[in-house]
Structure 1
Amino acid sequence: MFLPVIMAGGSGTRLWPLSRQHYPKQFHALTGERSLLQETVMRLEGMEAATPLLICNEEHRFLVAEQLRQIGQEDLTILLEPVARNTAPAIALAALYARSEGDDPLMLVLAADHFIRDVAQFQEAIAAGVPLAQEGRLVTFGVVPERPETGYGYIKRGAALAQGGFAVDSFAEKPDAQTAARYLASGDYYWNSGIFLFRASRFLEELERFRPDILLACQKATGALKPDMQFVRVDARAFEACPSESVDYAVMEKTAHAAVVPLKARWSDIGSWSALWEVQDRDESGNALGGDVLSLDSANNLVRAESRLVALVGIEDLVVVETKDAVLIARKDKVQDVKSIVDLIKKNGRNEHLNHREVYRPWGHYDSIDFGERDQVKRITVKPGAKLSVQMHHHRAEHWIVVRGTARVYKGDEVLLLTENQSTYIPLGEVHALENPGKIPLELIEVQSGSYLGEDDIVRFEDRYGRS
């Protein structure tokens, strides 16, 4: 029995414009009908594992909870990071939380944004690593390389151990093409998967040996855990003071007790659009097409259409990604530079790196379908039984028109029940709330008008999601 620890942080900037800061790649269905996070949880079915523990950023908590609900996993505990501090502090929080529950489990640490084609091979590799972890080893899983890849770090194996594992000789940074070819030819190197298996106490011992500053900060952060529904919060100020470091640099490259187990499961971290093209199903011309796409005399392209028709004529080796508010066109051999486009968006003071036009909230989502200097139109969808916060605005008034379902509207001292084609007006400064009392999603059109239309013009008085 082991405790799966699923790290659902990260921004995935190389998969822009689909991946955004507030809706990163692990929450998207890139390789099937389920998101990468959901696939990670489902990959554990049939294993002798405890209920997984998830770690995510505070701002993603309701998104994680909703995706877990969709696959029938509402009972999972979600440990919240107030800020991102890389993988070593995240794993330390999980280990300390597990110890606070009176246990010292083997922890299987997984990233929520990986793709694994062969689940049976994955599960076999994990089973092979369990005896090594029980002996006190810090086990990592090395992907048997399929090509001289320059986009991954590598692990060099040392002496053979039990269960088909090896001692770790060394870790290597991402190589150039010539070095990667040499690694592949030697047969002694694996891709670094970022999957780990070790006992909680052993990880904390090694962390104390090599990075006591990280351990101390995480101990302070978990000194007064605060449960909130299925979420668990740590002390924000203490965790903000924690250094940011990867588990490889903090522990795995320094410990004398690292072991590596070969993994033959067609793994990918989907770190770029070209990496996604590699693992997707393709047509007879080598095109990986998703959405409403027409292709004529075109080959070896990745095309993803989110909201409209995309047509290709006579192009090769391109990535074309269309969303409601942005389009990316890049050569497949240049997609590592997408991160630079995101940096340019930030530098120019734009916000397309933060949100999609469609924004998800714990109660549902909204789509900003039109906006001007003093007006904005949104299509709002509220889940059955959900309620927006009791709030008011200093700078805008709102008109609501119900187009589907039933709305219960709280407006000052009034309570209104509106159905399709009915509407109401919320004056500037009026305290109000919106609720869906029905069994089907509530859809309405909201027309905002005023001198300032930013999302920060919200004063919350009461909120069932803890945001007031």
Structure 2
Amino acid sequence: MLTTGVVSAASVGPDGACNGTAGSRCTRIAPVILAGGSGTRLWPVSRENYPKQLIDVVGSDSLLQATARRMEGFPPGWNVDAAPIIVCGEEHRFVIAEQLHENGVEARLIVEPARRDTAPALTLAASLACADGDDAILIVMPADHSIADVRALQGALECAARHAEQGAIATLGVPPTRPDTGFGYIRIGAELPDGGHVIDGFVEKPAEEIAAQYVAAGTYWWNSGIFIVRAHVWLDTLQRLQPDMHAACERAFANGHTEGAYFRPLEDAFLSTSANSIDYAVMERLGDADTSSGAVPTGVVVRLDAGWSDLGSWDAVWAAMEKDACGNAGRGRVAFEGAVSSYAHSEGRLVACVGTNNVVVVETADAVLVVDRSHVQDVKGLVARIKAQHAPEADAHRKVRRPWGFYDSIDRGERFQVKRIVVTPGAKLSLQLHHHRAEHWVVVRGTALVTRGDEQFLLSENESTFIPLGTRHRLENPGKVPLEIIEVQSGTYLGEDDIVRFNDSYGRCS
């Protein structure tokens, strides 16, 4: 669980309130995790429906789970919310809630009806953080980054939080180790007495020769994408710099509604705002903004030396991992023989690299990627081409997670498809029908409660049933062990969009 820091002269009560004496800080901090990205550069492990923040590419935790842990043991003197605010998309909300629950983190999830980049996402989070009348400092972190030294990160965040207390908008900058053209850069200005620098400007992904000049100058740092700002400071600044976005997000939040652990902004209002990043919408405009309508906060950048990586490519994953004497790194069932500076990732089958040099090999159940490390940035274009061909490998894995469990597409042909379906205890699929396919179910483990038309009956192991085309049906697991069935679909069209839902426990009905 996330912990709350206290100072010797103050304490935080069981209700989370600060019971401090004069001179104690106990300022409230609300962690915000932005989890709406797609991460196509880490294909084929990262897919549109299961992006990189949900996968475990550099540790036992997923990147999201690792991000949620980073406020644990934050330096004393701050009142850190135990429940982070997570902003995510509809298609990922169940997996995100499940992963955080596995780690003992009960989060507050804001479900965006569509992606509108990071500025609108942060605006919704700031509105939620202010909803109880308090004004927390937001520590805003992308869900898909890697940090080697969490204590060093927390030290930089604490320095930035002190600036945010005084009304600044702070970010963390990473001193560059190479002239990387895949990052944005922050030009640092005057040094401040209590740590950090005034932001002197931003540069977006320069050419290689310009990036080399930045590294040599020593006055340009990589933009980490981590921001620290008081909730009301963000909202007030956005209202001055982006009034249309502020108005749309304010209306979306004010007219939104809560469903259990999920908050849903008003869809029409949220979709009316333009997509824009925190950098473009606000940070890059702080220096030249019109201050006639009110003071614009100072932009501050604090140095981050913590082994940061945005894991924006397979080469970045290789760089973040431990390597053997020849510079090779691997994950899963991999073997190297005479290989140098190579990376191998296996999701199941043995991947053997013999005599390879600077090569990345990634294996999943339905795709294999082989790419020179100097061309890993081209993977994004490859995925776009695969997507344009309407190939299923662009969006989903063979194994697809659902709020009730998962299914694995074992085999398929022109007029048939075979799936292995696993339903968690107590869960049930929606009441549904299909216009273009019939289904045969065989129970291989557990007990199934089947609804078929007006019938309802139990099936045990080695028993089966048939669901005719156009028949309303539902599959439930009333038992205490996972229910596993083999489903054989047959028909003229077998796509996942041939589902008409009449009743659903997970809010997926139209």
Q: Tell whether the structures are fold-level matches, with TM greater than 0.5.
A: yes
Matched, 1:66 2:98: yes
Aligned residue in 1 for 2:488? 447
Shift in Å, 1:138? 0.2
Aligned residue in 2 for 1:312? 353
Q: In structure 1, which of residues 106, 109, 113 is the aligned counterpart of residue 144 of structure 2?
A: 113
CA contact (8 A) 1:153 1:174 kept: yes
- Equivalent positions of 1:350-361 (< 5 A) are 350-361=391-402
Aligned residue in 2 for 1:260? 301
Question: Which has the larger displacement, 96-105 or 159-168?
Answer: 96-105
- Equivalent positions of 1:37-436 (< 5 A) are 37-47=64-74, 48-50=79-81, 51-73=83-105, 75-256=106-287, 257-436=298-477
Shift in Å, 1:153? 1.1
CA contact (8 A) 1:132 1:162 kept: no
Q: Secondary structure at the match of 1:352?
A: helix
Which residue identity is paired with 1:115? S
Question: Which has the larger displacement, 440-449 or 404-413?
Answer: 404-413
Shift in Å, 1:160? 1.6
CA contact (8 A) 1:143 1:192 kept: yes
Aligned mates of 1:388, 1:239 — CA distance in 2:
30
Taking structure 1 as the reference length, the TM-score comes to: 0.97
Consecutive unaligned residues in structure 2, runs of 5 or more: 1-27, 288-297
Shift in Å, 1:358? 1.0
Aligned residue in 1 for 2:295? none
Q: Secondary structure at the match of 1:373?
A: coil
Aligned mates of 1:450, 1:170 — CA distance in 2:
59
CA contact (8 A) 1:129 1:163 kept: no
Which residue identity is paired with 1:68? L
Describe the shift of the 1:30–1:159 C-alpha distance in structure 2 as closer, same or farther (beyond 3 A). Answer: same
Superposed CA offset, 1:390-410 (max 9, x none): 112222111111122222222
Aligned mates of 2:499, 2:208 — CA distance in 1:
52
Superposed CA offset, 1:89-147 (max 9, x none): 11111112222332221111110000000000001111111110010000001112222
CA contact (8 A) 2:127 2:253 kept: yes
Aligned mates of 1:368, 1:390 — CA distance in 2:
21
Aligned mates of 1:71, 1:462 — CA distance in 2:
31
Shift in Å, 1:371? 0.7
Matched, 1:17 2:44: yes
CA contact (8 A) 2:387 2:395 kept: no
Q: Secondary structure at the match of 2:326?
A: coil
Shift in Å, 1:287? 1.3
- Give me the identity figure in percent: 53
Q: Secondary structure at the match of 2:199?
A: strand
- Equivalent positions of 1:456-467 (< 5 A) are 456-467=497-508
Taking structure 2 as the reference length, the TM-score comes to: 0.89
Aligned mates of 1:210, 1:386 — CA distance in 2:
47
Which residue identity is paired with 1:33? S
RMSD of the alignment, in Å? 1.3
CA contact (8 A) 2:89 2:113 kept: yes
Q: Secondary structure at the match of 1:449?
A: strand
Which residue identity is paired with 1:95? A
Superposed CA offset, 1:186-241 (max 9, x none): 22221100000011111112112211111111112112121011000011111111
Q: When the two structures are aligned, how many residues end up with a matched partner?
A: 467
Aligned mates of 1:87, 1:101 — CA distance in 2:
23
Q: Secondary structure at the match of 2:285?
A: coil
Aligned mates of 2:62, 2:362 — CA distance in 1:
18
| Superposed structure 1 runs of 4+ greater than 3 Å apart | none
Consecutive unaligned residues in structure 1, runs of 5 or more: none
Which residue identity is paired with 1:456? D
Shift in Å, 1:8? 0.2
Q: Secondary structure at the match of 1:155?
A: strand
Q: Secondary structure at the match of 1:100?
A: coil
Q: In structure 2, which of residues 54, 73, 80 is the aligned counterpart of residue 27 of structure 1?
A: 54
Aligned mates of 1:178, 1:412 — CA distance in 2:
68
Aligned mates of 1:4, 1:105 — CA distance in 2:
9
Which residue identity is paired with 1:65? A
Which residue identity is paired with 2:191? A
